[in-house]
Structure 1
Amino acid sequence: MRCPVREVAVGSGGHVGYLVTGYAEARQALADPRLSKDTAAFFAGKASNRRLHSAVAQTMLATDPPRHTRLRALVTKAFTTGAVARLRPFIARTADALLDRWPAEGRVDAVAGLALQLPVIVICELLGVPEAERAAVRRWSADLFADGRPDVIDAASHGLAEYMAALIASKRKQPGDALLDRLITARDGEDRLSEDELVSLACLLLIAGHETTADFIGTALLSILRRPAEMARLRAHPADIPKLLDELLRHASPVSTATFRYATQPVSLGGTDIPAGAPVQVAIGAANRDPARYPEPESLMAERDAAGHLAFGHGIHRCLGAPLARAEADIALCAVLARFPHLRLAVAAEELTWRRTRLVRGLESLPVLVR
């Protein structure tokens, strides 16, 4: 029997929350203003032994309007379709430079050698993070998703927030024209950002600007490699890759579960009554494979119209970096297929390992043979 919304245990204290797995119900939940993302309000007064840095714990993703509206407006212009179009030449050069390092024959890890590096380089370039410091930034970001390791997550949150605060201080002394410099101007010139908001936005843009995109590029390439006929078709018709991205995003959503929400008042969802105060988890990956919305959901169908998938979320919190993520995936897949006509998996797909992370889903590695 289909159960799109169900009660689940939350933590070890006997508390309950609600898990949303149906597509229609997930779409409703993601846009329902009664489901708040204000984590500070929810956890106020609750005892906790966590020491997550506030700049990471209380990002724009953990706010409601009107604060969310104000913060989002400050960064939206950097991720419009037009702004991303101007970035495409840089993204293409970066992808080519990474693929230049791949051997002419033999084995290479497509995750470490492309999927992880491309989005990191692009978002660091956009923000103005110096090249020598990007490895540390990438490590902190990865550690923030260390499932079952609260000590590692908390330490990484402090490492990243303290680094961003220091980078902001450095940019005040030597201003540039990166996105982070423009946010500093908004803080210091127009006084529209508090210092905490500025550091928090910098952390969020860095994390959200590459983590899920890296996971998606890896899983998308795997999906194509497992289908040689489709890979041959795309190699012959690379213009079809942008059309396939929606189906790839639906089929292998890099976000498995949306970030925290809770009911500020009673909500009826999918025939289930959710009381005020209850946490609500929206399972993006499950919703994107709801057979009521997508027939034969386990199959990757190039001809399927997957528009409306929830991989980028829905409503006012829909991922503002979606155009950038799509451009990076499009460019990366086109470049790999064009440059390596004999590319194939180096191991059986069943032998691949997946990252054990919170919220997102991605490969640990993707060994391929280039010839």
Structure 2
Amino acid sequence: MTDVIDMGEFGEGFRVNPHPAYARLRAEGPVHRVRLPEWHSEVWLVVGHEEARTALAEPRLSKDGAKIGLKSLDEELIGKNLLVTDPPQHTRLRGLISRAFTMRRVEALRPRIQQLTDELLDAMLPRGRADLVESLSYPLPITVICELLGVPEMDRAEFRKMSTEAVAPSSPGSEHDAYVRLGAYFTDLIEDKRAAGPSGDLLSDLIRTTAEDGDRLSPDELQGMAFILLIAGHETTVNLITSGVHSLLTHPDQLAELRADMGLLDGAVEEMLRHEGPVETATFRYAAEPLELGGVRIDRGESVMIGLTAANRDASRYPAPDTFDIRRDARGHVAFGHGIHFCLGAPLARLEARTAIRSLLDRAPDLALDGPPGEWLPGMLMRGMRSLPVRW
């Protein structure tokens, strides 16, 4: 009989620094049966790099809980989206959104991202010290994704509260309430855009996107798409920028190397994604049929969590995995997933992080920490800190 590891036994320190716990688990095997205190349930947790990549691309591990009689909160209260569907439905949805959310569209945002970054730094730098999250890491990606989708500026503060509770709930029940409010918000937003007609933003284009065979997104699918684009389009980038800057400031040798050669920036961002990526575990997968993974049998109907943070520090893939090294070849990391569910917004997140970090380092040559970081986000989905005090 498989031993069950109670994740609650790792204590409060697990939230701040889960890496020793994951290292201990990896030393004992790549896949474990664990108990999650927040859900009072048992799941399989994948902590090995090779096994994580295999699981992320394994068609027998379904994203659609309906196949085993489950329904996720986002599907129940908002609508079908890329995170809760399998082929052929996932293929259809991704194909429709890819018609509007193209690489050309992302690249066209480059000047606006630079302009927004410059404006935020113009406001921040005269103060001499700031919370990086409030001053740069949060406002940049939320403004970019809201402008891209066409979310009114006056809605953004309230949207932030709902979004944060949806991905990192602060109390029992707050996640459900956030999904209810987000569902109502997206319903109203889509109806307003439908009535207003074409306006050039991504959500308006998605409302009118049609495939060659006449296929279009249904109202529920539009809500699901708006949800996943808005949430995933900024929450992950906030954490990437914040954790990336934190890693540089706590590794002064690496910061000095980057300042001496900004040509290392692209590789540095990939190492930031590997070393302290913005998503700790991928959203649940469910065994649609029995399979073996990492030497253990997973029965039909069992839930599987893939540890992206754990996999990215597997010594069998990355020598000295706990070392932050901007010259490392970090290719193969799973910070954005792998396979057909690879993050659609990865190019946009990379562009925003590179722009923000380059501009910050250029304009704040004496940048340093101004105290310890704020609280790390609760739960095992997102990996990031609520605040990061800096000075210059």
The answer to whether TM tops 0.5 is yes
**1:204 counterpart = 2:234:** no
Unaligned runs of 5+ in 1: none
**1:141 counterpart = 2:163:** yes
Q: Is the 8 A contact 1:52 1:158 kept in 2?
A: no
Equivalent residue of 2:209, what SS? helix
Q: Which residue of 1 aligns with 2:327?
A: 303
Q: CA deviation at 1:239?
A: 2.6
Residues 73 and 104 of structure 1: CA distance in aligned 2, closer, same or farther (over 3 Å): same
Range with bigger deviation, 90-99 or 7-16: 7-16
Q: Is the 8 A contact 1:146 1:152 kept in 2?
A: no
Q: Which residue of 2 aligns with 1:336?
A: 360
Mapped to 2, the partners of 1:84 and 1:256 lie a distance apart of: 25
Q: What's the TM-score, normalizing by structure 1?
A: 0.92
Range with bigger deviation, 94-103 or 63-72: 94-103
Q: 1:180 aligns with which of 203, 224, 239?
A: 203
Q: Which residue of 2 aligns with 1:40?
A: 66
**1:285 counterpart = 2:309:** yes
Q: CA deviation at 1:204?
A: 1.0
Mapped to 1, the partners of 2:217 and 2:88 lie a distance apart of: 14
Deviation digits for residues 259-315 of structure 1 (CA, Å, limit 9, x no counterpart): 010111111111111111111110110000011111111001122101010000000
Unaligned runs of 5+ in 2: 1-26
Q: Which residue of 2 aligns with 1:31?
A: 57
Range with bigger deviation, 354-363 or 230-239: 230-239
Q: Is the 8 A contact 1:213 1:329 kept in 2?
A: yes
Q: Is the 8 A contact 1:40 1:58 kept in 2?
A: no
Q: CA deviation at 1:213?
A: 0.9
Mapped to 2, the partners of 1:7 and 1:358 lie a distance apart of: 15
* Paired positions, count: 364
Residues 327 and 236 of structure 1: CA distance in aligned 2, closer, same or farther (over 3 Å): same
Q: Which residue of 2 aligns with 1:115?
A: 137
Q: Is the 8 A contact 1:252 1:285 kept in 2?
A: yes
Alignment of 1:118-133 (within 5 A): 118-133=140-155
Mapped to 2, the partners of 1:57 and 1:195 lie a distance apart of: 8
Q: Is the 8 A contact 1:259 1:359 kept in 2?
A: yes
Q: Which residue of 1 aligns with 2:17?
A: none
Q: Which residue of 2 aligns with 1:214?
A: 238
Range with bigger deviation, 74-83 or 105-114: 74-83
Equivalent residue of 1:102, what SS? helix
Mapped to 1, the partners of 2:324 and 2:73 lie a distance apart of: 42
Q: CA deviation at 1:356?
A: 1.6
Q: Is the 8 A contact 2:96 2:216 kept in 1?
A: no
Q: Which residue of 2 aligns with 1:167?
A: 189
Q: CA deviation at 1:52?
A: 6.1
Matched residue type, 1:124: C
Q: CA deviation at 1:9?
A: 2.8
Mapped to 2, the partners of 1:121 and 1:265 lie a distance apart of: 42
Equivalent residue of 1:262, what SS? strand
Mapped to 2, the partners of 1:66 and 1:307 lie a distance apart of: 29
RMSD over aligned CA atoms reads 2.3
Over the matched positions of the two proteins, sequence identity in percent amounts to 46
Q: Which residue of 1 aligns with 2:8?
A: none
Q: Which residue of 2 aligns with 1:60?
A: 82
Mapped to 2, the partners of 1:123 and 1:36 lie a distance apart of: 28
Q: CA deviation at 1:2?
A: 3.2
Matched residue type, 1:4: P
Q: Is the 8 A contact 2:82 2:341 kept in 1?
A: no
Matched residue type, 1:260: F
Equivalent residue of 2:243, what SS? helix
Residues 203 and 52 of structure 1: CA distance in aligned 2, closer, same or farther (over 3 Å): closer
Equivalent residue of 2:105, what SS? helix
**1:360 counterpart = 2:382:** yes
Deviation digits for residues 141-178 of structure 1 (CA, Å, limit 9, x no counterpart): 11102346342111111111111111111112212111
